[in-house]
Structure 1
Amino acid sequence: MNALLLYPLFPKTFWSFDRFLAMAGVKAFIPPLGILTVASLLPPQWNLRFHDRNVAEEPQDDWLWCDLVIVSAMMVQREDFHHLIRKAVTMGKKVAVGGPYPTSLPQHALQSGAHYLILDEGEITVPAFLAALERGEPAGQFRALEKPDVSLSPRPRYDLLQRDAYLMMAVQFSRGCPFNCEFCDIISLYGRKPRTKENHQILAELQTLYDLGWRGSIFMVDDNFIGNQQNVKRLLNDLIPWMRDHRYPYNFLTEASVNLAEQPDLLELMAQSGFFGVFLGIETPDQDSLEVTRKQQNTRHPLTEACRKINAAGLVIYAGFILGFDGERSGAGQRIEAFVAETAIPQPMLGILQAPPNTALWTRLEQEGRLLPDADGCCGDQNTLMNFVPSRPPQDIGREYVQALWRMYEPATYLERCLRHCLAITPNPHCSQQMHVPAARAVRLLALLVWHQGLRRPSLRGQFWRQLGQMARQQPRLLAVYLGLCAAGEHFFEYRQLARERIGDQLGQDPLLPAPPIPDVTAREAVLAAAD
C-alpha cells in the first residue's frame, strides 16, 4: 500500500504565530503528533509519504503515487480538511480520516466523501481499520468502546518530519483530565482518568529526537500534564538525570491546571527537569462563572497568588480566558483585563465561549433549546460569536472581547507586561528558560525585532531600549526569554486587528466604536440576527 499522510492547513489564529514564525525563519509551531503516531501503527511494509501542509504543500506526484490518503484534523482545520477529502475522491483515491474533528462530528467527513473513519484513539481503531482493508471492505467507521492503554503506544515517526521547519517538537505523556469543566471536550474525547505512558517510553522518544539531531524546545502536549500527579513525579525524577547526562539538550513547555501552584515539590521537579513555561486554563477571575462552568479547581485559592507562586518557581505563564459564560455580569472583559494587568501574564489567550459537540455544555444547551441551527458548523473557530443563545446580549460579549483584546495587545502595554512578567520569574539554575532558536535564526530574529520595535516605530522606540536596559541590569539570565516574548508580540499586534474585523463583520459594526442603540428584541432574536 502506498499511503499519503496529510495534515491540513491552519487558518490564522491566536496560536498560529504567523508573523513570529516568519521572523524566526520557521514554518510551523509544533508538528502533528497524532498522525505521526498513526504512522507507527501502520504495517511496516507500507510505503508512507507525510506532508504537513503548514510547512509545505505536497507535490502532485504524491497524489498520483498513492493508493490511500490519510488525513487527521482538529475542528479549526475544517476548511482544508474537506478540500483534501474532496480532492482525493475526485482523483479516485480511497480516503481515511481521523483526529478530534471527525471523531466529534463524523457526519461532516462522510458528507465530503471520506471512505474510512478511524475515530477515537488510534491504538484501538487503526488495527480495526487495517483488518477491514484485509477483508476488502470498501468503507467503514471504526470506533473504540474503551480507552487504550497508552503504555503500549508506539513511538511516533519523528523521522518523517522536516524537523528544522518547526519552532518546537512535541511529546505526549498522558491523555485525559480528572476535572469536569462543562465546556471542555478533552474529557469527552479522552476521559476523566488520566492515562500515562511509562517513563521508559518518554525517555525513548526524547532519545529518538536527540539521535535525529533535535536540540531545542519540546512541547509536552498533554491537556493537563499534572492530571496524574504521582506518575508525573515519577517521570520527572527519571527525566532529571537523563537531562543532566545529555547536558540539557531540551527545555519544555506544557499545559496544566492551576492547582499546580499547590504543589511546590512538583514545581521544583519541573524546574530541575528543564520546564520553562506552562499554559494555564484560568478562564475568568469571576468566581461565579467558574462555579457555573464546573471549574472548581480554580476557586480553591486566589488566582493571582497561584500565578505568583508559579512565576517564583521559574515558569513563564501562558493562560487562556473565556467570555460568554451563563450568568456572566457585564464588564467581564474589563475584569479579565484587570487580572492580566495585575499578574502581568504576557500572552493572554482570550476567546468567546463555544459549545463543542458531545460536551456537557452542548448537552445542556441542546436540552434547553439554546443551540443555534448551525451550532456544529462554526465550533472551534476563533473570532466567532457563540454557537448558542447566551444569557446576555451577544453584541455586548463581542464588543467586550474585541475591546479587551485590543487594549491588552496595544504594543506599549504588551511590552510593559513582558517586562514585569520576566522580572517576577526566578531564574532557573538548572537550565535555560527561553524557547530555543538555532543561532543563525536567533540573529535574524533579533535583528528584525530591533528593527520593528527599536527603530521603525517611534511610539515604541524609547520604551524598547529602556526596558531592554532594565532587563540586562536586573535579569540578564532571562534576557532571551524577554526578547522572545517581545518578538511574539508582532504576531499579536496583527492578530488583534484581524479579530476586530472578524467580529465586526458578525456584529455589523466596528466593535471599537460606540455601541448603537439596542433594539427591543429578545436575546434569541439578537443572536439569530448576529448569526445571519
Structure 2
Amino acid sequence: MKALLLWPHMPNSFWSYRRTLQLAGLRSTNPPLGLITVAALLPADWQIRFADRNVRFETEADWAWCDLVIISAMIVQQEDFRALIEKGVALGKKVAVGGPFPTSVPDFALAAGAHYLILDEGECTVPLFVDALGRGAERGIFRSADKPDVTCTPVPRFDLLDMRAYLAMTVQFSRGCPFQCEFCDIINLYGRKPRTKHPEQMLAELEVLYRMGWNRYVFVVDDNFIGNARNAKIFLRALVPWMEARRYPFILLTEASLNLAEDPELVELMVKAGFTTVFMGIETPDTDSLLEVHKLQNTRHSLAESCEKVTRAGLQIMSGFIMGFDHERPGAGERIRAFIELTGIPQAQLSLLQALQNTALWQRLEREGRLIDGLGTFHQGALMNFVPTRPVEEVVEEYIDAFWRIYEPLPYLKRTFTHFGRMGVRRADSRRRFDWAALRMFAAVCWHQGIVRSTRWRFWWQLAAIALTKSRLLFDYFIALAAGEHFFAYRHEVRAQLRAQLAAMRQLREHPENQPPSAATPSAWANNA
C-alpha cells in the first residue's frame, strides 16, 4: 500500500506564532505528533509519504503515486481538511481520516466524502482499519471504547519530518486528565484516568531526537502532565540524569494544572529535568465562574500566590483565560487583564468561550436551546457559538479591549521583565547553542523592539539587567520577547474579525429581511443582541 499522510494548513491563531516564525526563518511551531505516531502503527511493508502543509505542500506527483490518503486534523484546520478530502475523492483515491476533530465531529468528514473514519485512539483503531482494508472493505468507521495501553505505543516516525522547519519537536508522556472542567473535551477524547508511558520508553524517544541532532524545544504535549503526579515524578527522576549526561540538549515545556503549585517536589523535579515553561489553564480570576464550570482545582488556593510559587521555583508560566462564562459579571476582561499584569505572565491565551462538541458544556447548552450552528471557527477572532447570559456585544467589546491592551508592546515588555525578574535561576549549564534561526530571531527582536519602536529605551535597559543578573534566563527571555512580535500583529487581526462580525450582526438586527434562509447563526445573534 502506498499511503500519503497529510496534515492540513493551520490558519493564523494565537498558537501559530506566524510572525515570530517568519522572523526566525521557520515554518511551523511543531509537527503533528498524532500523525507521525499513526505512521509508526501502519504495516512495515507500506510505503509512506508525509506532508505537513504548514511546512511544504504535497505535489501532484504525490497524489498520483498514492493508493490511499490519510488525513488528521484539529477543529481549527477544518477548512483545509475538507478541501483535502474532496480533492482525494475527486482524484479517485481512498481517503481515511482521524484525529481529534473527526473523532468529535465524524459527520463533517462523512459529508466531505471520506471513505474511512479511524476514530478515537489509533493504537486500538488503526489495526481495525488495516484489517478491514486487507479484506477489501470499501468504507468503514472504526471506533473503540477501550483506552489503549500507551506503554505499547511505538516511537513516532520523526524521520518523516523536515526538522529544520520547526521550532519544537513533540513527545507525549500521558493521556487523560483527572478533572472534569465543563468546557474541556480532553476527558471525552482520552478519559479521566491518566495513562502514562514508562520512563524508559520516553527516554528512548528523546534519544532518537538527540541522535538526530535536535537541540531546540521539545514540547511534552500532555494536556495535563501532572494528571498522574506519582508517575510524573518517576519519569522526572529518570529524566534528570539523562539530561545531565547530555548537558541538557533540549528546552522542555509542557501543560499542567495549577495544582502543580501545591507540590514543591514536583516543581523542583521539573526544573532539574530541564523544563523551562509550563502552560496552565487559569481561565478567570472570578471564583464564581470557576465553580460554575467545575474547575475546582483552581479554587483551593489564591491564584496569584500559586502562580508566584511556580515562577519563583524557576518555571515560566504561559496561561489560558476565557471570557463568556454564564453569569459572568461586567468587567471580566479588565479583571483578567489586571490579573495578568499582577502575575507578570507574558503569554496569556485569552479566548471567548466556545462549546466543543459533546462536552458537558455542549450538552447543557443544547438542552437549554442556546447552541448556535454555523460558526465553528474556534479561534480568537470568532464569536461564541452559543447565546451567552450577557449581551454578546458587551462581552465581545470587553474582550477586544482586553486582548488589545494585553498585547500592546510596552506593557508586554514590562510584564515579561517582571516575570523573569521573579523567576528563580536554577538552570543547569547547557550544550544548546544559538543556531541560525535563533540568531535571526535575536537580530529581529533587537531591531523592532530596540530601535524601531518607542519601546527602545526600556528594551535595552531590561536586556542589560537580565544579562547581568540572570544570564541563564537570557535565551528564554529573548524567546518570550520574540513571541510578542506575533501577538503585537495578531491583535489587529482579532479586533478586525470580531468588529466585522459585530457589524454584520447589527446589520441583520436592523434589516432582518436580508437574512439568507440557510444562515441561522447571524439572526440568532441579532435576536440575542
TM class by shorter-chain length? over 0.9
Q: Give 1:442's aligned residue.
A: 438
Aligned to 2:515: none
Partner of 1:419: 417
Q: How far did 1:314 drift?
A: 0.5
Is the Cα contact below 8 Å between 1:355 and 1:379 reproduced in 2? no
Regions of 4+ moved over 3 Å: 524-527
Corresponding letter in the other structure for 1:5 = L
1:15 corresponds to which residue? 15
SS state at 2:455 partner: helix
Distance 1:69 1:192, change over 3 A: same
Q: Does 1:483 align with 2:481?
A: no
Q: Secondary structure at the match of 2:357?
A: coil
For residues 91-118 of structure 1, give each alpha carbon's deviation from its aligned partner in whole angstroms, at most 9, with x where no partner exists.
Answer: 1000000000000110100111100000
Where structure 1 has 5 or more consecutive residues not aligned to the other structure, the ranges are none
* 1:396-427 CA-partner distances (Å, limit 9, x unpaired): 11111110010010111111111111101011
- What is the distance in 1 between the residues matched to 2:483 and 2:278? 16
Scaled by the length of structure 1, what TM-score is found?
0.94
Deviation at 1:264, TM superposition (A): 0.2
Partner of residue 272, structure 1: 272
CA distance in 1, matches of 2:77, 2:258: 28
Residue 356 of structure 2 aligns to a residue in which SS? coil
The two structures have a TM-score, normalised by structure 2, of 0.95
- Taking the aligned partners of 1:15 and 1:91, their CA distance within structure 2 comes to 33
Alpha-carbon separation, structure 2, partners of 1:462 and 1:506: 38
Distance 2:293 2:338 in 1: 21
Match of 1:389 in 2: 387
The answer to whether the 8 A contact 2:247-2:430 is kept is no
Residue 220 of structure 2: aligned partner: 220
**How large is the Cα RMSD of the aligned pairs?**
2.1
2:518 maps to what in 1?
A: none
Matched residue type, 1:103: T
Q: Who is 1:462 aligned against?
A: 457
Counterpart residue type for residue 255 of structure 1: E
Q: How far off its partner does 1:167 sit?
A: 0.4
Whether the aligned pair in 1 keeps the contact of 2:94 and 2:115 (CA below 8 Å) is yes
Question: Number of aligned pairs?
Answer: 519
Task: Give 1:474's match in structure 2, choosing from 459, 469, 472.
Answer: 469
Q: CA deviation at 1:530?
A: 8.1
Cα distance in 1 between the residues matched to 2:325 and 2:416: 29
Asked whether the 8 Å contact 2:117–2:141 carries over to 1, the reply is yes
Cα pair 1:220 1:255 within 8 Å, conserved: yes
Paired residues of 1:276 and 1:432 also in contact (CA < 8 A): no
d(CA) in 1 for partners of 2:119, 2:390? 36
Counterpart residue number, 1:126: 126
* Alignment of 1:65 onto 2:65: yes
2:516 counterpart residue number: none
Opposite residue 65 of structure 2, the aligned amino acid is W
The residue identity in structure 2 corresponding to 1:107 is D
Q: Is the 8 A contact 2:6 2:69 kept in 1?
A: yes
* Contact residue 271 and residue 430 of structure 1 kept, 8 A: no
Query: What is residue 529 of structure 1 aligned with on the other side?
Result: 526
User: What is the rounded CA distance, in whole Å, between the counterparts of 2:137 and 2:483 in structure 1?
Assistant: 49
Deviations 1:137-192 (A, max 9, x none): 10000001211111111111011110111001100000000000000000101000
Tell me the distance in 1 between the aligned counterparts of 2:28 and 2:404: 25
Alpha-carbon contact 1:356-1:379 (below 8 Å) kept: no
The alpha-carbon distance between structure 1 residues 213 and 469, as it changes in their structure 2 partners (threshold 3 A), is: closer
For 1:61 and 1:447, the matched residues in 2 are separated by 39
Contact 2:427 2:472 in 1 (8 A): no
CA gap 1:46/1:191 in 2 versus in 1, 3 angstroms: same
Say whether 1:506 aligns with 2:504: no
Structure 2: segments with no counterpart, 5+ residues: 513-520
> What are the superposed Cα offsets for residues 56-106 of structure 1, whole Å, 9 maximum, x if unpaired?
111110000000000000000001100100110111000000000000110
Cα distance, 1:355 vs structure 2: 0.5
Cα distance in 2, alignment partners of residues 367 and 441 from structure 1:
50
Report which stretch shifted further, 460-469 or 11-20: 460-469
The 3 A distance-change label for structure 1 pair 437 and 398 is: farther
Letter in 2 for 1:496: R
The 1:174–1:332 alpha-carbon spacing in structure 2 relative to 1, beyond 3 Å, is: same
Q: Give the partner amino acid of 1:389.
A: V
The one of 376, 396, 399 equivalent to 1:378 is: 376
The amino acid of 2:389's aligned partner reads S
Report the CA distance between 1:235 and its aligned residue. 0.4
Change in CA separation of 1:95 and 1:526 when aligned onto 2, cut-off 3 Å? closer
Does the 8 A contact of 2:370 with 2:386 survive in 1? yes
On the 8 A contact 2:177/2:187 being kept in 1, the answer is: yes
2:525 maps to amino acid: L
